[in-house]
Amino acid sequence: MGPEVPAVAARAKALVLRALAGPRSTFARFLLGTVVAVVCALAVVALALPGLAEHFLLAEKERELTLRGLRAEGVVRAFLEGGLGEDQAQAYLDVLAAEDSEVWVVNSDGYVVLESGIACQAVSGVPQYGMSPFPPGGPWVSPGGVPGRGGRWMRGSRLAFPDAARVSVGEGWSSTGEHWAYEVPVVSVSVPVTSADGSRVLGAVYLHSPVAGVSFTVGTLRRYLFLAAGVGLLAAFAVAWVLSRNVTRPVGLMTAMAKRIAEGDLDARVKGGLDELGELGRSLNIMAERLGEARDEGRRLEALRRELIADVSHDLRSPITTIRGFVEPLLDGTVADEPMRRSYLETIRRETDALGRLVADILELGRLEAGRSSLALTAVDIERLSRETVTRYRPGADEAGITLSADIRGPLPAVEGDEARIGRALGNLLDNALKFTPRGGRVTLTAEPVPGPGVALAVSDTGPGIPEGDLPYIWERFYKVDKSRRRRGESGGGPGSPSGDGVGLGLAIVKETVNAHGGRATVESRPGQGSTFRIILPAAEKGPAGPA
């Protein structure tokens, strides 16, 4: 007797408690539910059907025995009235009794005066005579009567009270079950026999048939029923099993998928069937898909943000470094001669300007994000603005050996907008075009009305173009197709090399400006053939202005 006994008891208790609490898994519950429902249905059938069948068969037997009794009426009447000999009557009764019943003829005083000779086996042929003096042996030897058991007969006995009384008044009746004359339950029918005119009661014909036949039939029925129930139960179990699996398996798979998603594996998917669960699975897949996209987008934005900070920091630091590099020699007096000193100071001013532009661009982008509210709106004469902007860039273009022209097509509708900002956006586009177009190229600013109504301003160049894969991104802050260009100022090294071209904010500013004006900015470019940047600004609602 170690400490195991209480442990085992505890475990047993736990097991019992668990069994009482019911199965946990949906599968088991589903299965159990279906099986219990089928068992209940089968139980109802198995309990009700044999009873019903028994009832029906017994009623049928009673009816059949009554019919036999009625058919015998004429012969029995003739016998009881003395018109038919005993032998003939006896022969008739034997035929009437057949294999399955015994027949008595009772006279109006209640005495059994004749009975079928071939005792029914099933009734055992051994009546229990609990009444009347009983004649030892009969005039007939019954083949079914089993003489060894006494071969007792009813003939000469008198029926007991209610039966004799009923016979005497010509009342017919029937009963099923225990009978005083038999060891086994019987169906008994008594058919009264009257004189032909019905005025006188002559006696009755009794027919007894064992219930055993019915019981046997019902028993057989019950056996088949149980067999069928067993088969049905097995089939139901199988079907329930398959159904439960079909339901719980996808649920299980989806649960597993949801778990994986919860653990961060957004690539988890389930296969969907055609039913509602399949629909659910597909919805889950779509959800996972969306989550994955959101995650990727989030990652991209996060990477972008980091890059942005790195870019801003770098682009702020590099001019500062340059400035520092030029200030030191000025301070410690190593730069003695005047032209050198001047060149140093000019570089410092250029870098300071670049720094100022960068900061201004960043601030500008921030302000533009506020949208239309940040604009100083006036009616803008796009034609004049275009010509002025081109004029402003012409010296630079000439210096770079690029042909710069303005192409104003037709009267342009007025645009309500922030002139300085539209001018700056246009400047950014021209700036890029001139910057990327090689010597001998052409840059054209086209302005034309477009349906909408609005104005389209297009800057096209004969530059290198932009690879298709980069096109969607060039509008993003600090995005540059050729990353190395960004560091040009730095790679140039020490004093004398300016920070160079922009940092990738120009197009972002264009886009934000155009968006703030309710317009849109597009780009078409084919590598090697040049690019066309187009901004479309909606016309002011007042209608066309300017020369008609």
- Residues found near Mg ion in the complex (CB under 5 A): 432, 502, 506
Q: How far is the CB of 502 from Mg ion (least distance, A)?
A: 4
Which residue's CB is nearer to Mg ion, number 157 or number 432?
A: 432
User: CB under 5 to 8 A by kind: which of ligand ADP, Mg ion, none does 482 bind?
Assistant: ligand ADP
The single residue listed with the structure tokens 């079909």 is 246
Q: How far is the CB of 517 from Mg ion (least distance, A)?
A: 19
Which residue's CB is nearer to Mg ion, number 166 or number 477?
A: 477
Figure out which of the listed residues 355, 474, 516, 535 binds ligand ADP, where binding follows CB under 6 A.
Answer: 474
Stretch that binds ligand ADP, among 59-67, 74-82, 227-235, 499-507 (CB under 6 A): 499-507
Strand pairing report for 442-450 and 403-408: parallel
CB atoms within 10 A of CB 381: 16
Q: How far is the CB of 261 from ligand ADP (least distance, A)?
A: 38
Report d(CA 405, CA 394) in Å as an integer.
Answer: 8
Interface mask toward ligand ADP for 436-465; x: CB under 6 A: x------------------------x-xx-
User: CB under 5 to 8 A by kind: which of Mg ion, ligand ADP, none does 504 bind?
Assistant: ligand ADP
Residues 320-359 interacting with ligand ADP (rule: CB under 6 A): none
Report d(CA 345, CA 361) in Å as an integer.
Answer: 24
**Token pair in block for residue 547:** 């020369």
Stretch that binds ligand ADP, among 71-79, 293-301, 369-377, 496-504 (CB under 6 A): 496-504
Count of residues that bind ligand ADP according to CB under 6 A: 22
The single residue listed with the structure tokens 């800057």 is 459
Which residue's CB is nearer to ligand ADP, number 158 or number 367?
A: 367
Which residue's CB is nearer to ligand ADP, number 257 or number 474?
A: 474
Which residue's CB is nearer to ligand ADP, number 338 or number 399?
A: 399
User: CB under 5 to 8 A by kind: which of ligand ADP, Mg ion, none does 302 bind?
Assistant: none
Figure out which of the listed residues 421, 480, 517, 534 binds ligand ADP, where binding follows CB under 6 A.
Answer: 480
Calculate the dihedral angle through the C-alpha atoms of 65, 67, 71, 73, rounding to the nearest 10 degrees. Answer: 70
The single residue listed with the structure tokens 């060891």 is 183
List C-alpha distances in Å: 333 to 255, 337, 341. Answer: 76, 10, 10
Q: How far is the CB of 465 from ligand ADP (least distance, A)?
A: 6
Q: Is 172 left (phi over 0), alpha (psi -120 to 50) or beta?
A: beta
Which residue's CB is nearer to Mg ion, number 187 or number 503?
A: 503
Q: How far is the CB of 516 from ligand ADP (least distance, A)?
A: 17
455 bridge partner residues: 449, 537
Q: Is 393 in the site for ligand ADP (CB under 6 A)?
A: no
In our burial notation (b when 16+ CB lie closer than 10 A, e otherwise), range 299-336 reads eeeeebeeebeebbeebeebbeebbebbeeeeeeeebe
User: CB under 5 to 8 A by kind: which of ligand ADP, Mg ion, none does 461 bind?
Assistant: ligand ADP
Torsion angles phi and psi, residue 28, rounded to 5: -60, -40
Report d(CA 177, CA 54) in Å as an integer.
Answer: 12
* Amino acid letter for position 288: A
Which residue's CB is nearer to ligand ADP, number 135 or number 500?
A: 500
Q: How far is the CB of 323 from ligand ADP (least distance, A)?
A: 20
Q: At a CB cut-off of 8 Å and minimum separation 6, what does 341 contact?
A: 330, 335
Residues 500-519 interacting with ligand ADP (rule: CB under 6 A): 501-508
Which residue, among 407, 386, 416, 382, has the nearest Cα to 543 in the 3D structure? 416
Helix (H, G, I), strand (E, B) or coil at 516: helix
**Token pair in block for residue 53:** 């069948």
Figure out which of the listed residues 481, 488, 492, 498 binds ligand ADP, where binding follows CB under 6 A.
Answer: 481
Report d(CA 349, CA 105) in Å as an integer.
Answer: 146
Q: How far is the CB of 347 from ligand ADP (least distance, A)?
A: 20
Which residue's CB is nearer to Mg ion, number 240 or number 397?
A: 397
**Token pair in block for residue 338:** 């005047």
Interface mask toward ligand ADP for 408-437; x: CB under 6 A: --------------------x---xx--x-
CA-angle at 380, arms to 358 and 437, nearest 5°: 50
Report d(CA 93, CA 72) in Å as an integer.
Answer: 8
Q: At a CB cut-off of 8 Å and minimum separation 6, what does 57 contact?
A: 214, 217, 218
Which residue's CB is nearer to ligand ADP, number 417 or number 530?
A: 530
Nearest-CB residue for ligand ADP: 502
**Token pair in block for residue 344:** 């140093």
**Token pair in block for residue 167:** 């016979």
Nearest-CB residue for Mg ion: 506
User: CB under 5 to 8 A by kind: which of ligand ADP, Mg ion, none does 297 bind?
Assistant: none
Q: How far is the CB of 431 from ligand ADP (least distance, A)?
A: 7
Which residue, among 61, 172, 150, has the nearest Cα to 106 in the 3D structure? 172
Q: How far is the CB of 310 from ligand ADP (least distance, A)?
A: 16
Report d(CA 401, CA 443) in Å as an integer.
Answer: 11
Helix and strand numbers (H, E) in the chain are 12, 12
Q: How far is the CB of 428 from Mg ion (least distance, A)?
A: 5
Which residue's CB is nearer to ligand ADP, number 142 or number 432?
A: 432
Q: How far is the CB of 466 from ligand ADP (least distance, A)?
A: 5
Q: How far is the CB of 353 from ligand ADP (least distance, A)?
A: 15
- For ligand ADP, the binding residues (CB under 6 A) are 428, 432-433, 436, 461, 463-464, 466, 474, 479-482, 501-508, 531
